[in-house]
Structure 1
Amino acid sequence: MAAERRRRGAEGAREARGRARERGAARGERGGRGALGLAAALALGLCLAAAGALLAQWGRWRAASRAVSPHPAAPALPPGATGPGAAPRRFWGSYRPHVYFGMKTRSPRSVVTGLMWLQQREGAELRHTCEQSDGLARYGWLLHDGESFGLQDIHDRGLLLRTEFVKRPGGLHGGDWSWRVTARPEGAGSRAALVSLFFYVATDGQGALQPHLEDGTRLAAVTGTSEELGDFRITFLRPTADSGEDVQYSSYHYLDAWSPGLHRLTDVVRSSLSNRFVFAPPDGPRQRFVAVDAFRGLPGAAEAPRSHVLLHQVTLRLPARVEVTFESGSVRERRGALLGPALTAELARHQAAFERRFEETFGLERKGFPAPQRRFAQAALSNMLGGMGYFHGRPLVQSPLHEQPVPYPESSLFTAVPSRSFFPRGFLWDEGFHQLLLARWDPELSREVLAHWLDLMTAEGWIPREQILGDEARAKVPPEFVVQHSETANPPTLFLALQRLLGAAPLPYLRRLFPRLRSWYEWYNGTQAGPLPHTFRWRGRDPDPERFLNPKTLASGLDDYPRASHPSADERHLDLRCWMALAAGVLAEAAERLGEPAEPYRRAQEALSDNALLEQLHWAEELSAFADFGNHSRAVGLRREAVRAAPGRPPPAPRLVREVREAPRPRFVDALGYVSLFPLLLQLLRPDSPRLGAVLAAMRDERRLWTPFGLRSLSRDSPLYMQRNTEHDPPYWRGSVWININYLALRALHGYADQPGPHRERAAQLYGELRRNLIDNLYRQYAESGYLWEHYSDSTGRGQGSHPFTGWSALVVLMMAEDY
């Protein structure tokens, strides 16, 4: 029994140990599964975190790529629309506004042609690109139809050069053209002057040229081929007198060279000049002169050659003329060469057609303007048309999502330029004003330009404010202005031009534009929104307030116009609000024409035009004017900083730095000027608005905005009137008279004078006075100086800034025509 108990006890113990092992095993299995679950959860978490990081990185990459990616909508300008097949009449043109005379095609890598000249006297410089430092008495187009014909006079210290061109259609590549360059002496003692004319042909990375010489030194012709021109021939005729007879004696030289690019053509020619030559006419004195010789490369140039240059130099006594012809190989039946008497007749025919069309378009003779003022207006329009340029290249864009500037994809732009000498490239806010004039002359041309600009839009809906496309354009821009910042706006003035074109614009054209216009409008609403509903704020004000009396606002187009002294996110900018009201109204009208939803744009227009809300947000009672709002001090100035010299060294030059004598606080900005006028300029004020009278009074007050030469940009009683912004930064929009804003003022006054209201007669009176002041001063300054100018002195009326400035200053033509 005892043995059995022991045996059963042992068996029980074994069973107990077995059950224990089973329970332990079960616990171990459950514990193992728990550990595996935790590991899996950790792994899953890591995967999700990695996926999240990748997703965030992809989002950043996508946002960064959108900043430098073209807009996904179909192009506003159909592919090939500027080529010789679709637009043969405009394929060739004077599309090189930065040179005194030259032509190219609307091709990305066009063969280019141009003129240089050199007066063979001590100290004379080679002329090629338009430079204010050249000091020319005057130059510019007197007649130019924007398509087929142009006549320009250049006055250069005793030399008058007249350049003329005319085109003749035919073939598959834009047809033929001919030049006539006439050189005459000006002034006493210049008749015996010796002058060299340099005619050149150059490639731009593609195409081939072949010289054809006579007598070993005279380049008689160039034959060539390129992708969009096919085969062609350019012929340089021997010089003649005005009568058509051959000149008695000329000296010829030619250059066959390679350049790193078109932007170095002047350097290539200048480095090839030698003074070892002698001009030895059989019936006159011998004279040493400078001519092109062997080209041995540019000093220190590391760039690979990409531009083949063939140059024909003719040196002669004045007066004389030289003709050049381009003949397309695709013209099979040519009506004789466009030279001599045939060229004279064709030029006369085009001139008569231009003058008829000008009068039919603007009616200045019917309005009683005398012939000199009509010629002035013709020159203003012609210089804008002759300043059209075709550019191709890759802009540099800096986005907040990129550490370094990034090249934007290759782009093309057909545009007018503000100034051939100083700003020979596209500027966004200038272009809207340019197209107000060009749309009146040639609506089809204007529609094409607008489409070009909208096709520069990025996927975000942003258009760079300054277009620097290609090496030639970049060579004229200081390095600090080359990079465009993707958060920086510019006034959307293209809506001004579109407003003029909208009623007659073909629906297919408008349908191509609409997705881009909508994206552009949304970009402004998304990136330039202000701190309160229906307010807006220009981004990109200068971030270095200690250096500037008032930090600049380049995005607004008004540069140094006084804003809040201390930039902040609380600013409300009046002009941008008014631009957005204009944009909303134009978009609403475009949507209605297309059958698209227009209600959101109409609601926005109504809210932004609401006079009560406008007053609440922007009426400064103490100024009795509309104004910006922001963190502002009314007591700032520039002073010399105190400096100490390091031991043993001379003290550094003291800088002018800003001094703030009153702490800033949220308030209206005490600056009465152009910004204050924007509710009137864009006609947001109702004709019966109680504020309209105060605005008109400020305009007419000679102590404030009124001058005999137009409206000054900043009131004389404003604290920053004519104040420098830095030691090296003179006043710009702080008192001068600017023609684009004065045109808007005339347009608005003309509108208020035509509407019933208590201020109708006052608006009409101001309109008449202001129009007369502007036209008289612009004409007087042109007659005295030979130029239209960037802006004008509010105290003397004299032209200031860059010249010639036949961008928005050419709006004087519309003022004369009373075309608003």
Structure 2
Amino acid sequence: MKFDYTLGFVRLLFPVISASFATGELNGEDSSLFWGTFRPNLYFGLRPRVPNSLMTGLMWHSLADYRAISETRHACEQGDRFEGYTWTEHDPRLGGIQVLNDTRMNVQLTTEWLKVSGGETGGSWAARISGKPIREDEPSSTAIYFYVGSDGLGSLELENEEDGNGIEGVIRFTGSTSHLGDFRLRIEDGPDVTYVTEGLHAERFSRKLGKTSFIGLPLQQGQVWKAKELLLRNIFQEAQPILSEYKDKDREPPSPAKAFCYPESFVGEFSFDIYYDAEDVKTKLDANGLTAGIKGFKNAFHERFLQKFPLPSTTPKDLIDFSKAITANLLGGIGYFYGTSIVDSSFTHDWDDDEMFNTGEKKSSHPALVEPRELFTATPSRSFFPRGFYWDEGFHLQLIGEWDNDLSLDILKSWVDLIDDDGWVGREQILGEEARSKVPPEFQTQYPTYANPPTLTMAVTAYIDRLRALPDEIDVNLGMDPTGQQVLKVPVLEPGLSAFHLSALRRHYHWFRRTQRGQIRQWGRKARSRTEAYRWRGRSETHVLTSGLDDYPRASLPHVGELHLDLISWMGFFTRTMRDIANLHWSEDNNMYCDVGIDEDDESHFVCHKGYISLFPFLLGLLDPNSPHLGSILSLIRDPDELWSPYGIRSLSKSHPLFGQGENYWRGPIWVQMNYLALSTLYKTYIPSPGPYQRQARDIYDELRTNIISNVFKEYQRTGYVWEQYDALTGEGKRSHPFTGWSSLVTLIMSEKY
């Protein structure tokens, strides 16, 4: 069986630019997070955590026919129809191992990456790319392209002597940038490589066989992400003269491996290594060191995983491997983003602005690019949501923090740095052209009156809880409660949340209270508080995207008088001072918590839809363990005709007329993060507390935990993916995949780390 492999190395460099960008000071302590697989939108992309610097990427396609090049792999795409791709191990401080099963191209690729931290410029790293056919009984040939691009001021020079026939042996580069200093880069083929030297037209192309081609392309600043488009255009241009010779002739044209400008081909399995050596790091990796290092990293990851997430000794190996993989995929989905974003500070929906609602005077829309910002963040889905999402991140940091508390703090501080002087932070962080290329235009603009569930509070709380287990704890008041009551306490350790970050969080809290406040005194409402009620801005007639539960049923008629149960619950979680305020949302007639709306007669009324929204006071642990309301909620959860299923708690009751209707995003499907909230509050709040519902809470917890774990694992085995949501009737994975953002919380559920 013959397996052909070609390697192309592309240099992308804009040689002289004028740019302003942030400068990050490095030291031995934080250099371990300087380099990383921080381009998670790519199947394999490396970059440092500084703007306008070096970036790498990997591309490939089949050489079985000329059509396959149109399906060249680069960015993660659900349409590529892989039979799964996953980081089996990943630690942003050390390295990662990823397996990609590309059945269409009949190749299984493995990317192994290791780094050596230290020095003043972020350290060194090495990567090994290897491949083998998935179906060994079929011919398989693959073109592989590795590129490196300088997206800012710097140089990158080829040391090898090059001619039109390519480069033999090790490929060497030298380079320099303001952040990285001087560095060297080299590419080496793996051992025992056998070259293909025969076949049709082999004599004509014999001078190129066994060599690697190199292309250097000048680019405008910020355009390295377009490497695929530029490379393919160059390949087509180079191949056109060759293929034109065979047009309208009886002669069979050469194979793509020969006609394209990357003709290096091997027989059998293949591998090649890439080494990046910072000038100021003494330890230099070679093939033997990389092999030993990867083996050591794999063992270390396994041991650390079992220590961080202890599982019973009877846990099957395939279930442990699954939990390791979803944890590694969340860590492997961490990225660094930099660029401009689109913000509209003037536009407001009719029912968002009280004055405009009364006068009928509409405000025009004026979206504009704002200054570049940077963000270090996990991502929900590498293929579909490769960017920062505010309300997802609080869940991401639950698992990341259990793995590496300091890493979670680094990400948390990066998000807090985005809070502006008014206290606002955008719900989606779509920074730069590359990020915007993955987002429909209608969703690109962010609005400074729009909120999102404040899950960063969850991340702060979890970070504090983990620090409290450490010695020498000092508590300080965050000062976020206007009454002077202590709300959050932060152990002051280094590194920790600075006074700047605490001040930003306080601004953020007050921004919520100021901009999302609802109207209580109108429409004859009675409440214990005259100020504490809340309403999501940014809703349409069918969606409240800002709530995070997009198409979940709300009042049929948008109105400035609405009060939203989930938002007051989030604010209660934010301050822990609003337990009693939720009584405004309790409907005795429906025996459940509800939104409050305004009907056609301009009267206040309850808007009740059994589902996640009605559970929020429970989900966030705001109910007293002895509250009779708790019993009603637990009964609603456990009713199979309402929210209970063998696969998890449904987002909307099975008996609801809108169940499974329309977009069916939050109208029945099961979401892991909401089930995690339920399990967490049962485990931490209601099971340990004596009361009339303690036994019921324990029974629901045990069964729900088993259902979630078994269904997500079953679908992973069946499809090769973890999914964004799961079908309310069958448990099948639905929508975005892989979705190892908050769906990876299954690891915490398995190890009962809440």
Equivalent residue number for residue 534 of structure 2: 536
Is 1:419 aligned with 2:413? no
Q: Deviations over 1:101-155 (max 9, x none)?
A: 0100001112011111111123322110001111111112110012111000000
1: CA distance, partners of 2:56 / 2:665: 37
**Which residues of 2 match residues 289-308 of structure 1 at below 5 A?**
289-290=256-257
The residue number in structure 1 matching 2:447 is: 485
1:507 is aligned with what amino acid? V
Q: Are residues 1:741 and 2:729 paired?
A: no
| Residues 120 and 194, structure 1, Cα contact 8 Å, conserved in 2 | yes
Q: Which residue of 2 aligns with 1:88?
A: 31
- Aligned match for 1:375, one of 310, 317, 321: 321
The worse-fitting range, judged by mean Cα deviation, of 462-471 and 171-180 is: 171-180
CA contact (8 A) 2:257 2:263 kept: no
Counterpart in 1 of 2:292?
A: 345
The residue number in structure 2 matching 1:153 is: 99
Q: Which secondary structure state, in structure 2, belongs to the residue aligned with residue 564 of structure 1?
A: coil
Aligned to 1:378, what secondary structure does the other structure show? helix
Distance in 1 (alpha carbons) for counterparts of 2:709 and 2:142? 38
Going from structure 1 to structure 2, the CA distance change for 1:291 and 1:169 (only over 3 Å counts) comes to farther
Whether the 8 Å CA contact 2:109–2:132 is kept in 1: the answer is yes
* Pair 710,108 (structure 1): closer, same or farther in 2 beyond 3 Å: same
Q: 1:328 aligns with which of 278, 284, 292?
A: 278
Aligned equivalent of 2:368, options 393, 400, 406: 406
Give deviations 1:323-371, integer Å, cap 9, x for gaps. Answer: 111111222x33xx523222111111111111111111010244x3211
- Cα distance between partner residues in 2 of 1:341 and 1:493: 45
Change (3 A) 1:452 1:345: same
SS of the residue corresponding to residue 97 of structure 1 reads: coil
Equivalences for 1:270-309 in 2 at 5 Å?
270-274=232-236, 275=239, 288-290=255-257
Matched, 1:581 2:572: yes
Note if contact 1:197-1:315 (Cα within 8 Å) is conserved in structure 2: no
Residues 340 and 432 of structure 2 are in contact (CA less than 8 Å); yes or no, is this contact kept in structure 1? yes
Q: Does 1:112 align with 2:112?
A: no
Task: Give the match's secondary structure for 1:480.
Answer: helix
Q: Pick one of 660, 675, 681 that aligns with 2:619.
A: 681
Is the Cα contact below 8 Å between 1:272 and 1:293 reproduced in 2?
A: no
- 8 Å contact from structure 2 (residues 43, 75) kept in 1: yes
The match for 1:103 is 46
- Residue 711 of structure 1 aligns to a residue whose secondary structure is coil
Amino acid at match of 1:326: Y
**Equivalent residues, number:** 645
After TM superposition, give the deviation of residue 246 of structure 1 in Å.
2.6
Aligned pairs for 1:545-584 (under 5 A) are 545=541, 551-584=542-575
Match of 2:266 in 1: 316
Secondary structure of 2:273's match?
Answer: strand
Code of the residue aligned with 2:408 in structure 1: it is S
SS of residue in 2 equivalent to 1:273 = helix
What's the offset of the Cα at 1:581? 0.9
Cα pair 2:23 2:50 within 8 Å, conserved: no
Unaligned 5+ segments in structure 2 are 1-21, 197-209, 244-251, 348-363, 468-489, 521-530
Could you say what secondary structure the match of 2:96 adopts?
Answer: strand
User: Given the alignment, which residue of 224, 228, 234 partners 2:185?
Assistant: 234
Q: Which residue of 1 aligns with 2:606?
A: 668
Task: State the secondary structure of the residue aligned to 1:408.
Answer: strand
**Distance in 2 between the 1:394 and 1:345 partners?**
42
SS of aligned partner of 2:371 = coil
Q: Is the 8 A contact 1:247 1:320 kept in 2?
A: no
Task: Report the CA distance between 1:205 and its aligned residue.
Answer: 2.9
Q: Which amino acid aligns with 2:560?
A: A
Across the aligned residues of Structure 1 and Structure 2, the Cα RMSD in angstroms comes to 2.2
AA paired with 1:800? K
User: Secondary structure, in 3 states, of the residue corresponding to 1:164?
Assistant: strand
Rate the CA distance shift 1:262–1:84 in 2: closer, same or farther, 3 A: farther
Cα offset, 1:501, TM superposition: 1.0
Matches within 5 A, 1:197-276: 197-213=144-160, 216=163, 217-218=166-167, 220-238=171-189, 240=190, 244-249=191-196, 250-260=210-220, 261-274=223-236, 275=239
Matched to 1:390, the amino acid is Y
Equivalent-residue separation in structure 2 for 1:247 and 1:167 (angstroms): 29
Q: What corresponds to 2:3 in structure 1?
A: none
* Cα shift readout 1:34-72 (whole Å, capped 9, x = no counterpart): xxxxxxxxxxxxxxxxxxxxxxxxxxxxxxxxxxxxxxx
SS across alignment from 1:323? strand
- 1:189 deviation in Å? 2.4
Q: d(CA) in 2 for partners of 1:630 and 1:82?
A: 52
CA apart distance, 1:206: 2.2
The equivalences for 1:754-793 within 5 A come to 754-793=688-727
CA contact (8 A) 1:581 1:609 kept: yes
Q: Which amino acid aligns with 1:581?
A: G
What code does the residue aligned with 1:179 have? A
Instruction: Report if the CA contact (8 A) 2:625-2:686 is conserved.
Output: yes
Residues 463 and 200 from structure 1, CA distance in 2 versus in 1: closer, same or farther, beyond 3 angstroms?
same
Equivalent pairs: percent with the same residue? 39
1:630–1:666 CA contact under 8 A, matched in 2: yes
Distance verdict in 2 for CA 1:103–1:314, change over 3 Å? farther
Question: Which of the residues 587, 603, 606 maps onto 1:620?
Answer: 587
AA at the equivalent of 2:582: L
Is the Cα contact below 8 Å between 2:28 and 2:119 reproduced in 1?
A: no
Distance 2:180 2:605 in 1: 62
Shift of 1:405: 1.9
Give the match's secondary structure for 2:739: coil
Q: Which letter does structure 2 place at the counterpart of 1:253? A: S
CA distance in 2, matches of 1:712, 1:376: 24
SS at match of 2:51: coil
The alpha carbon displacement at 1:268 in A equals 0.4
1:381–1:813 contact (8 Å) kept in structure 2? yes
Q: Is the contact made by 1:254 and 1:313 (CA closer than 8 Å) also made in structure 2?
A: no
Structure (1 or 2) with the larger CA radius of gyration: 1
* Cα displacement string for residues 237-269 of structure 1 (whole angstroms, at most 9, x for unaligned residues): 12x3xxx31323445322221344023111001
Partner residue, 1:281: none
Q: How does 1:501-540 map to 2 (within 5 A)?
A: 501-503=463-465, 504=467, 506-507=491-492, 509-510=496-497, 511-532=499-520, 533-540=531-538
Specify the SS of the correspondent of 1:420.
coil
Contact 1:232 1:327 in 2 (8 A): yes
Following the alignment from structure 1 to structure 2, what is the Cα–Cα distance between the partners of residues 673 and 416? 28
TM score, norm. by length of structure 2:
0.82
Q: Using the alignment, how far apart are the partners of 1:248 and 1:209 within structure 2?
A: 29
Partner of 2:130: 182
User: How far 1:209 moved relative to its partner?
Assistant: 1.3
Greater helix fraction, Structure 1 or Structure 2: 1
Q: Return closer, same or farther for 1:691/1:629 CA change in 2, 3 Å cut-off.
A: same
What is the alpha-carbon distance in structure 1 between the residues aligned to residue 633 and residue 393 of structure 2? 28
Distance 2:659 2:381 in 1: 26
1:610-645 superposed Cα distances (whole Å, 9 cap, x missing partner): 1xx423x11123332111010358xxxxxxxxxxxx
Match of 1:466 in 2: 428
Contact 1:195 1:318 (C-alpha < 8 Å) held by counterparts: no
**Pairwise CA distance, 1:170:** 3.9
